[in-house]
Structure 1
């Protein structure tokens, strides 16, 4: 697809890299938005990257819409030639699958689900061709995930599974959204995973919960004191399955400000990943665990 530019009222330009999510679209969008940020174009007031697209808010009294459109197109040409490499970090996120809180919640909303007779995990396993929930859970946590954007609600990451497209977990959202979702729920809708940063409504299937806070507007959590939002676009996430005892222990450590997520710096090269997906993921795991 050719990049599509469109105006959003008098103060916005929306730029869509592709109609479907891909790492190529993400990298191109990221390259352009980084270039926009570095260019310090007078009149731009906000840059909002998303899954393979972005939106620019600007002051039309300071820069004419057509002029800004031309500047963005020029930056796109430079982005096409940019190296598809990202200096980022890989983060281990503990997950309590089949926890009692999301289980209780999903059972309250079965009339809004495609299959009221099964749990979200049972439904997702069947939709993705797995014989058991255990096999599905393993497929969910065995490979790393890429944070393609942060938003919708404050601090919520959208995650894209780093495997061949034929192996990516896909499952539809609820037929009608729930009016309740526990904070820190690990959810999934379409091809995207997420972590619900706050309690509230939601339509993604619920697989489990993490004891690791990812959003703290009070900035009292030890690793969120510098910035209230944990995730950044481009982060790589590895889920780590835990049980109730581990969940309670981490929760206590968070409350006592003793918990620190496992984080390692990594270089992610898109061309290398596409050439050897399993090999790239293995190297990411080795970096995460210091092998």
Structure 2
């Protein structure tokens, strides 16, 4: 049973911590509550900001008393606890060029900030997670789907949580000190989360590879981003697809020609079914992704 913790953030915010640790249960509860707040159109609520296992509500205290909003949120929590955790969402295939030359050049420039300056990020991650080789690690990273639990921190950046049982989850610490540079579209890892750097910039996650697929386009010139500049939404499911340099170059050329189209399928995800049979649920998701 997840017991949320409520607190005020100044005069205009309420912060709700659903759980101190990340889990799909915590995500679904936060998602149910934020959806309920959005659908209720509560007078005075101006912004709803969901996160991995928490969320924040901004409100106008001249339109709704803080205590009244707090009471309403707690009432919604009771209803969210009774709701069936089922989500109509999409599964997306994301190509990844693991051990690419660009992130490798970058990680070598910042080895003094790393836990193990003598190895690469992916070598280090494979070793501390008990994998016999980098290829075995890549197979584990790309073999099962991932859940997008949050989008933000940097515009369009998704946080992805691995859909496996807890003992098999990959855990990798962030750099000892953040880098001042990370290539755009780097696939990174920190703690229990994978991510894609939507823009070039500073960062502290371990760098495993790069995707040729843009996920953020403020100009909305990219074909599949014409409706909205940010590609990912919380609740999306991702399957990494390892590719080589030749395939990476073909994808980049298709992106530049505006002919690249990510593989996307609509799916239904049930948390209860997932918890009852993780491998079976993931197999069905991957089957749906590969269906013609």
In the superposition, the TM-score normalised over structure 1's length comes to: 0.99
Partner Cα separation in structure 2 for residue 75 and residue 230 of structure 1: 29
Deviations 1:171-192 (Å, cap 9, x if unpaired)?
Answer: 0000000000000000000000
What pairs with 1:168-179 in structure 2 (closer than 5 Å)?
168-179=169-180
User: What is the aligned-residue RMSD (CA, Å)?
Assistant: 0.6
Match status 1:136 vs 2:141:
no
- Taking the TM superposition and a 5 Å limit, the aligned residue runs for 1:251-270 are 251-270=252-271
Give the SS at the match of 2:230.
coil
Helix, strand or coil at the partner of 1:278:
helix
Q: Deviations over 1:13-34 (max 9, x none)?
A: 0001100000000000000000
Aligned residues: 291
Matched residue, 2:119: 118
Aligned residue for 1:166?
167
Q: Distance in 1 between matches of 2:283 and 2:72?
A: 40
Structure 2: how far apart are the matches of 1:221 and 1:18? 37
User: TM-score with structure 2 length normalisation?
Assistant: 0.99
Deviation, 1:233, is 0.1
Structure 2 unaligned spans of 5+: none
Structure 1 residues 234-257: Cα deviation after superposition (integer angstroms, max 9, x where no partner): 000000000000000000000110
CA–CA distance in structure 2, aligned partners of residues 13 and 120 of structure 1: 38
Match of 2:277 in 1: 276
Tell me which stretches of 4 or more aligned residues in structure 1 moved more than 4 Å: none
**1:230 corresponds to which residue?**
231
Q: Could you say which residue in structure 2 is the equivalent of 1:15?
A: 16
**3-state SS of 1:135 partner:** helix
Deviations 1:128-174 (A, max 9, x none): 00011110011000000000000000000000000011001100000
The 5 A counterparts of 1:1-291 are 1-290=2-291
- Give the Cα separation in 1 of the matches to 2:216 and 2:105: 23
SS of the residue corresponding to residue 139 of structure 2 reads: helix
Counterpart CA distance in 1 for 2:89 and 2:266 is 6
Find the residue that maps to 1:233 and give its secondary structure. coil
Question: Post-superposition shift, 1:52?
Answer: 1.1
